[in-house]
Amino acid sequence: MSRVGKAPITIPSGVTVTVSDANVVTVKGPKGQLEQALDSDITVSQEDGVLTVVRPTDQKRHKALHGLYRALINNMVVGVTNGYKVEQELVGVGYRATNSGNTLDLVLGFSHHYVFELPSEIKVSTTAEKGKNPTIILESIDKQLIGQVAAKIRSLRAPEPYKGKGVKFVGEVLRRKAGKSASKK
């Protein structure tokens, strides 16, 4: 049995989970509401504040879906309870980030600005303190959406291995290369 799939999901107080006849799981909490459609083979049962995801057989497909849907439902419960936060920093001379509402304006060393319109489910804020790299802070209840948006922002100028310039996640460890001068001895 899947180690992820067989783990029960405890529902915190203030969160309600409903499963419709069309196999759609709806999670409501203090921060908002999320929905996820499930495969018709996977069933979700709720007893005494604990959710369990059940698969019908031990087929490879059912095993894969078992762990997947359990993880997705757990991410939804955590999202509506605590929310998710992603911090990215811009490393490089002249790199800047500003926002007005849900529009993010990035200066990443190119001849043009990147104006990035974010989905309404994501809250964005930017900080620029003297002596520190500019920071982009994304907050949302949807883990999939915030991860996809953060990856898209990072892909605009991924960190390069020599000087580390680019958009990186706060706390991310980059593999650095020595460069040309290290090989001449």
Q: The tokens of 183 are what?
A: 């090989």
In this structure, the answer to whether residues 54 and 109 fall within a common structural domain is no
Which amino acid appears at position 62 of this protein?
A: H
pLDDT in tens, 84-113: 999 999 999 999 999 999 999 999 999 999
Domain assignment present for 53: yes
User: How many angstroms separate the CA atoms of 83 and 32, rounded?
Assistant: 9
In this structure, the answer to whether residues 98 and 144 fall within a common structural domain is yes
pLDDT in tens, 133-166: 999 999 999 999 999 999 999 999 999 999 989 9
pTM over 0.85: yes
> How many folded domains does the chain comprise?
2
What is the chain's mean pLDDT, rounded? Answer: 91
Q: The tokens of 36 are what?
A: 């996820």
In this structure, the answer to whether residues 110 and 58 fall within a common structural domain is no
Residue identified by tokens 């762990």 is 67
| Predicted pLDDT at 2 | 59
